Structure 1
Amino acid sequence: MGARRRAATVAGVLAAGAAVAAVTVFGMPGARSGHRPAGRAPVPTAGITRQTLVDREDHDGTLGHGDATTISSRGAGTVTWLPPEGATITRGKAVFRLDDRPVVLLYGPIPAYRRLAPGARGADVEQFERNLWALGRRGFTVDRAYSAATAAAVRDWQDDLGLTKTGSVDPGQVVYAAGAVRVDSLSTQAGTVAGPGAAVEKVTGTAPLALVGLDQSAGRLARRGAAVRVTLPGGKVVPGRITKVATVAVRGENGESATTRIKVVVGFDAAVTSEGTAAVTVAFTAGERPDVLAVPVAALLALAEGGHGVQVVDGAATRTVAVRTGLFADGRVEISGAGLQAGMKVAMPS
């Protein structure tokens, strides 16, 4: 139900609770005792519990794989092979083929921007050598220097790929990503003549993510690392955690000015399968009260002198106790009052 209807629901339940009050306390707040007349049916009751109350606020989201990144050709030639949409590509595998030569995926944050050959030094050299080592190549030291030993390992790697054994690596031969990628969509087709900079395909990460757009007024919910609950298509609820929060400008329609939204990315603590975009509901924690006494909201009575109370039932005896209310969540409300303890029974509407 969420925050959009919480206020109306609480008000309605409180009104219902007031309507079923068998006893209304007048004068000073406190406790008044009484007994049920003989032969009268037992009063419906609910227990006072000690628990952690969590108030959740629901927002619509989308299940997907995050923002897509475009992979472009760094060389000129004919696109001779493309992976199918939805395919997963891992380190050392081709993201596409140009003139029947593979363009290979490697892992790392630094894009390929120069030719690597003996004598080259830098962080990009070390990044490449780490990938070469991870692919099972040996005989060189992983460091910032591209040595003759590195070149020898590269020639063996190129031979396995069916490439000319140059011992050097051109920037158009490799593509770097943070990890394995999923092919989101194709930007061209096999047989197309591509020049440098031509878009070939769009890729995302492989892990399913939930994306939610929040208004600025709901920004308090967007805390990186906070736990959430995600209702998947089909109704299954799985735990998740906010992994990224960003403020973005959304272009207005029909001449309206742009608005600012909060983009929330949610990762999953459990295994989730996603074949494509789907609608989900994300429940954010709006408030939490640990180790408090709670009763159903319907057990609250509206007292004549103001405030609320509950009718404690002890066998045939009843007494009305004024209470202070706290957090409302999932149909229950935090209460505190004189003499109240977990395990006591309170009257409920019949």
Structure 2
Amino acid sequence: MSRATIYSIAEICGVSAATVSRAFNRPELVSPEVRARILSAARELDYQPSSAARGLVTGRAGLIGLIVPDITNPFFPLLVRAIQRTADRIGSPVMLVDAEESAAAESRMVKQLRGRVDGVILASPRSPAAALREAGGDLPCVLVNRTLRELPSVVCDNTAALYDAGEHLYKLGHRSFALLAGPSASWAAARRSQAIRRWARGREVELIELGPFRASFKGGRRAGEALLATGATAAFAFDDLMACGVLAELHARGVAVPGERSVIGCDDVLLAQTVTPALTTVSAPFADLGRTAVEMLIRHIEAPGATPEQRRLPGAFTPRSSTGPARTRG
């Protein structure tokens, strides 16, 4: 049997395909009698409404775009899943695009999605503000882990959690710290660095800033090498993937963690829980980030002229095995 369509239902009921689409999407525009006939025929044919059918009446694609800077970074699959689950509940498939850490590609992809999707979620975009504004045009956009005054955004605010991480290390006797900075184009990297600097100033401890490094395992290996050239006994890595690279570099050089160095990551991706030693980190609220981003985008699509929403969701400090007492110097 061929798959049921709005056209086959329209033929059975003696109405137009547009009327069938209205029966599912704008029932107030269809008489109760006609709608009852359409729904009965749909059940008989086991019809499932499609985004194309909805588009006949709404003028929308029924599709959400999602652009991530690097799909190989384990932060993004968790966010993608959260976004996809929320979008699925409202019947909107997600078109995923990987910008491969290229700001130019990111802006180009936003332009290419115009007319193909109803709106776009940009996760941790690397593009300059002016390029994002120009690329988006009148396409509804929501930012995740980045803010622009004129666009809706939801960010994970790790300020309090990073303060807790610093206090955790301070109580363990650490007084010299390394800040292993993330990519220079990353909004989140800049905010995390600012939070750690503020904490360090408040405690009057030594903070050695290194980097920026790529948010990658290889970037973490380079960060680990740089760390060993300092006297820092503890390090804040930009994210968990970088932190795992640091752990690997320290292990390769025979440096014990947490015996000789303590390492803290950020985001709490699956890798942080499975690496040895298990990584002390800051947990991001992935489910809430994804759900909020989709809900914001739908509201922005429905009311494009509304004041852009700005939401901050707190991270949480999660201690594990990669941090321990500061080493004593003989």
**Which interval holds the TM-score relative to the shorter structure?**
under 0.3
Which one has the largest radius of gyration? 1
Q: Counting strand residues as a fraction of each chain, which structure ranks higher?
A: 1
Q: Counting helix residues as a fraction of each chain, which structure ranks higher?
A: 2
TM-score by length of 2: 0.25
